């Protein structure tokens, strides 16, 4: 009889624990939504031969980054992104920046031409007139582990070293 009571109690607790775990999971999922202040988005980048680099394959999935606390009011977070070095992809760390007045940010983009060539355009800042401007200096930057990535066929591929924002990836 005691074993039956114990079994009924455990089964009842398992159901309650399952519901509680589900509830906690929902709260975490809702709480994990991004609340980082982002830069104003500009027009999507038009990928054309004159503003793009031909790449042999698309960038890997984004790296997981540690985002430091916002250094001060008025700063925005620019996500890390892959940059083409001329031979392989390198991760450029995300960063907190003070956005230039009236400037917008257009994130990187890839597109294929009609004949299947893959083109890459890095993210860029633009002034109110739409002209490309220099990236603002990072105030604080994220951290990410340098790890190899797995290619679609399942082979490990070494990426270029992680990049400090504003650095020339071809020089590193």
Instruction: Concatenate the DSSP letters of all residues of the chain into one string.
Output: -HHHHHHHHHHHHHHHHHHHHHHHHHHHHHHTS-----PPB-SPPP--TTT-EEESSPPPPPPPEEPPPP-STT-EEE--EEEE-SSSEEEEPPEEE-PPTT-EEE--EEEE-TT--EEEE--EEE-TTS-EEPPPPPSEE-EE----EE-TTS-EEPPEEEE-TT--GGG-
Higher pLDDT, residue 127 or 147? 127
Task: Please give the distance of CA 120 from its chain centroid, rounded to a whole number.
Answer: 16
Instruction: Report pLDDT digits (tens) over 132-150.
Output: 999 999 999 998 887 777 7
Mean pLDDT of the chain: 79
Say which range, 19-28, 102-111, 114-123, 161-170, has the weakest mean pLDDT.
Answer: 19-28
Q: Give the integer Cα–Cα distance in Å for 92 and 108.
A: 12
The answer, yes or no, to whether residue 111 has pLDDT greater than 80, is yes
The two counts, helices (H) then strands (E), for the chain are: 1, 16
Q: What is the mean pLDDT of residues 112-128?
A: 93
Residue 126 has pLDDT above 50, yes or no: yes
Locus of tokens 């679609």: 152
List, for residues 40-99, the tens digit of each pLDDT value. Answer: 887 777 788 788 999 998 998 888 899 999 999 999 999 999 999 998 889 999 999 999
Band (pLDDT 50/70/90 cuts) for residue 22 is: very low
Whether the predicted pLDDT of 14 surpasses 60: no
The residues spanned by each domain of the chain are 1-33, 53-171
More confident residue, 58 or 34: 58
Give the model's pLDDT for residue 53: 93
Strand, coil or helix: 97: strand
Check pLDDT > 60 for residue 4: no
Give the model's pLDDT for residue 134.
95
């Amino acid at each position: 009889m005691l074993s039956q009571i114990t079994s009924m109690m455990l089964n009842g607790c398992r159901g309650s624990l399952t519901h509680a775990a589900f509830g906690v999971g929902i709260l975490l999922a809702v709480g994990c939504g991004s609340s980082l202040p982002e830069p104003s988005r500009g027009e999507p980048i038009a990928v054309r031969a004159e503003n793009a680099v031909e790449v042999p394959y698309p960038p890997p999935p984004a790296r997981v980054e540690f985002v430091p606390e916002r250094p001060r009011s008025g700063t925005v977070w620019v996500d890390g992104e892959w940059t083409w070095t001329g031979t392989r992809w390198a991760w450029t760390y995300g960063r907190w920046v003070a956005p230039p007045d009236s400037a917008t940010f257009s994130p990187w983009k890839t597109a294929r031409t009609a004949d299947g060539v893959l083109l890459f355009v890095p993210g860029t800042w633009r002034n109110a007139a739409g002209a490309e401007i220099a990236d603002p200096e990072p105030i604080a930057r994220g951290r990410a582990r340098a790890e190899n990535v797995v290619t679609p066929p399942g082979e490990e591929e070494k990426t270029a070293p992680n990049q400090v924002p504003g650095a020339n990836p071809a020089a590193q």
